[in-house]
């Protein structure tokens, strides 16, 4: 049987690397084949999600940045400074989180989806046409965010004018000046040439890009246990692989950007400069509790407990 798997990035970007590893594992351990559909082949993120829900696709990678309308609780990933900056703690959180392993799956199930895994894709950085060192610098800046109400709130709190757009429109919107900024991990800023249409990269350390891989639930539930196990093992192997793959990736990507465009500035905000951005977290958290769905409080509490557990374990 051939299973179709769509994702929001190109084949050689992080989601594509994960998908390629998943395909390799499934095909090595079963008679099934996986057909991969990179970004653009089946539409935008919202389109591939619909296709996965309706069963046209068996697998889909959609980031919580786009899942907010469907599963409001998934917006929790946009409370700024919630996830740890420390890579080991971050990975340990994704490996062990009860929120991810136990609380989120029923919410995805309600939408016809079997949540298979969530994984981090790297520190989120702002790229803008003007320099950013404080929230004042974001004043009047039309800043593209993924189509997620809490991300809108978060950039409002940062002082910007958030503009939610699907990914396919971002390069053109920067080029024509409709927007003056966007945020993404370094590898993506490099591979999609965001540096061509912006001049400044700012590292405020406010988030790490989270993504999620799901199966159509009816399809998954109908599989024999043997196939479910093949899938789970392939997911676990791909998780390990993608964590390893990302070692050093941020710095390599930033170096490539500087090589391609020496005039680009990369600014890592100091602790002091981060303070006003950090100060917004409380407001955004309150907003999450209002708009994050029936399970918002439970999800937030569990996330915090999970994060506390890994920060104690790893030591800060
Ligand atoms: O900003 C976005 O919309 C995209 N960013 C990444 C890193 N992956 C997919 C997503 O569409």
153 Cβ inside 6 Å of ligand 1? no
How far is the centre of ligand 1, averaged over its atoms, from the C-alpha of 13 (Å)? 10
Percent of the chain with pLDDT over 70: 99
pLDDT of amino acid 312? 82
63 Cβ inside 6 Å of ligand 1? yes
pLDDT of amino acid 69? 87
Is the pLDDT reported for residue 313 higher than 80? no
Is the pLDDT reported for residue 64 higher than 60? yes
Percent of the chain with pLDDT over 90: 98
Mean pLDDT of the 78-92 span: 97
209 Cβ inside 6 Å of ligand 1? yes
Atom from ligand 1 closest to the CA of residue 185: 7
288 Cβ inside 6 Å of ligand 1? no
Ligand 1 mutation pick, 144, 188, 242, 249, max ligand atoms within 8 A of CB: 188
Task: Give me the domains of the chain, ranges plus CATH numbers.
Answer: 2-314 (3.40.190.170)
Q: How far apart are the first and last CA of the chain?
A: 48
Asked which of 198-212, 236-250, 301-315 is least confident by mean pLDDT, the reply is: 301-315
125-183 pLDDT tens trace: 999 999 999 999 999 999 999 999 999 999 999 999 999 999 999 999 999 999 999 99
How far is the centre of ligand 1, averaged over its atoms, from the C-alpha of 226 (Å)? 33
Ligand 1 mutation pick, 13, 18, 63, 179, max ligand atoms within 8 A of CB: 63
ipTM given for this complex:
0.99
């Amino acid at each position: 049987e051939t299973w179709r798997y769509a994702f929001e990035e190109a084949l050689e970007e992080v989601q594509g690397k994960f998908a390629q590893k998943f395909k390799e594992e499934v095909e090595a351990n079963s008679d099934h084949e996986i057909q991969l559909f990179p970004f653009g082949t089946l539409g935008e993120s919202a389109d591939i999600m619909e296709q996965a829900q309706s069963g046209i696709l068996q697998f889909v990678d959609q980031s919580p940045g786009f899942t907010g309308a469907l599963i409001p609780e998934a917006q929790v990933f946009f409370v700024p400074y919630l996830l740890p900056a420390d890579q080991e703690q971050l990975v340990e959180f994704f490996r062990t989180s009860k929120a991810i392993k136990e609380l989120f799956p029923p919410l995805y199930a309600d939408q016809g989806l079997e949540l298979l895994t969530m994984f981090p894709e790297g520190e989120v950085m702002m790229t803008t046409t003007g320099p950013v060192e404080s929230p004042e610098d974001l004043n009047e800046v039309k800043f593209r965010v993924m189509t997620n109400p809490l991300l809108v709130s978060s950039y409002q709190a940062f002082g910007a004018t958030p503009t939610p757009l699907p990914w396919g429109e971002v390069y053109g919107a920067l080029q024509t000046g409709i927007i003056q900024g966007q945020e993404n991990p370094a590898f993506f800023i490099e591979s999609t040439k965001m540096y061509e249409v912006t001049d400044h990269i700012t590292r405020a350390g406010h988030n790490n890009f989270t993504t999620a891989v799901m199966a159509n639930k009816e399809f998954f539930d109908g599989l024999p246990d043997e196939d479910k196990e093949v899938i789970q093992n392939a997911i676990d192997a791909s998780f390990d692989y993608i964590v390893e793959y990302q070692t050093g990736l941020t710095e390599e990507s930033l170096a490539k950007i500087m090589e391609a465009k020496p005039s680009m500035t990369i600014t890592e905000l100091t602790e002091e400069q981060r303070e006003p951005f950090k100060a917004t977290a409380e407001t955004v958290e309150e907003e999450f509790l209002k708009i994050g769905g029936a399970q918002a409080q439970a999800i937030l509490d569990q996330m915090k407990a999970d994060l506390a557990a890994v920060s104690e374990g790893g030591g800060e």
